[in-house]
């Protein structure tokens, strides 16, 4: 395992958990990215400001890490643009069909012991495993 970083993963996971708990306790809202972004695209209903702040934080956070490190963050995407567009479409459609995304179900729903989120997260993980198996062993990617 080349990229095994347990300390930074533990710190990052704890920060995500704390942020999700703060949003739930202070605002009564679930930190599901698809719901937050989707809700911000609708006409403002009085909760547009916190949604916008959350989205801006998702963008600014990595920039702050890059600034603190003093070096650019290296990200390599080995897929072409058509595959990325198709994958984005499938993920967007799936989050609508599943009534949420991995952050909403996996982070917040599991923490609340939601039965629906347990089923959704198990489905995410099984689908991911089957996709990796198919891509590596059946298709040869």
Tens-place pLDDT, residues 66-85:
999 888 888 888 888 998 99
Give pLDDT tens digits for 102-129: 888 888 888 889 999 999 999 989 998 9
Q: What is the DSSP letter of 2?
A: T
Cα separation, 127 vs 106, in Å, equals 14
Residue 43 has pLDDT above 90, yes or no: no
Residue 141 has pLDDT above 80, yes or no: no
Cα separation, 49 vs 79, in Å, equals 34
């Amino acid at each position: 395992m080349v990229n095994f970083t347990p300390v930074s993963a533990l710190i990052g996971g704890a920060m995500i958990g704390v942020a999700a708990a703060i949003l739930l306790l202070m605002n009564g809202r679930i930190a599901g990215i698809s719901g937050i972004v989707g809700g911000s695209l609708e006409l403002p209903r009085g909760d547009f400001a916190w949604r916008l702040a959350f989205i801006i934080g998702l963008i600014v956070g990595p920039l702050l890490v890059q600034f603190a490190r003093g070096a650019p963050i290296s990200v390599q995407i080995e897929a072409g643009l058509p595959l990325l567009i198709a994958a984005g479409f499938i993920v967007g459609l799936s989050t609508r069909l599943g009534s949420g995304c991995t952050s909403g179900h996996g982070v917040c729903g599991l923490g609340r012991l939601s039965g629906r989120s347990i089923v959704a997260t198990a489905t995410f993980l099984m689908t991911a495993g089957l996709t990796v198996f198919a891509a590596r062993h059946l298709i040869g990617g």
